[in-house]
Homo-oligomer: A and B are copies of this chain.
Amino acid sequence: VVVRRLPIYARALEHLAAASERVISSGRLGALVGVSADQIRKDLSYFGEFGRKGAGYRVDALAATIRGILGLDQERRLAVVGLGRLGRALAAYPGFVDRGFRVVALFDRDPAVVGQEIASLRVLPMESLGEVLAREGVTVGIVAVPAEQAQAVTDLLVASGVRALLNYAPITVATPPSVRVGDVDPVVALQSLAYYLKAGEPSEQAS
């Protein structure tokens, strides 16, 4: 749970550092990321003591510490599978590289797409996936294929040694417990939001 908040703290700290802020209190950081000051202090204390009482946290030191906790000191190498519109957008996304990730391989099963150059990488055929992932040291996969192919692609990535993957396909993929999956179907996100839209529009008022 804490681990899902740390990247958000890190992101805010990087913005603060870019704005030349040197020190921040749990209260101000909390306001920035929408979390209580208590929460931030608890989260951080779970990993050690980083603050100065009476002053706050040093922005750059804390950012570095969080990156360390998350293992972002080491660059992670990504493969994107499926180069439809979404896959292309991800492959070319400039926001990965300065935050610890680098896309190093692209795969698609469509022969018309294989061979294209996207973000200065050539799209490779699925058959080469295992070999290329091993050679390039890819540890994280991004699944951006249609639902029907998502499980097969996942199995292939898992078999090739990927240990975490981000799944954009609208389906829950099965993996062994040693492989972590992040689900990011935009429709699922929207549908949970939709629940809150109901309040305040139907005939019935809240009591």
Contacts and interface: CB of A to CB of B under 8 A. Distances in A.
Contact of A93 (B85, B140, B196): B85
Contacts of A192: 3-4, 6-7, 70, 182
Of the candidates A33, A185, A191, the one having the most CB atoms from chain B within 10 angstroms of its own CB is A191
A3 B95 CA distance: 30
A6 B191 contact: yes
Contacts of A8: 172, 183, 188
Interface residue tally of chain A, by bracket?
Answer: 35 or more
Contacts of A183: 8
A170 interface: yes
B72 A191 contact: yes
A7 B190 CA distance: 9
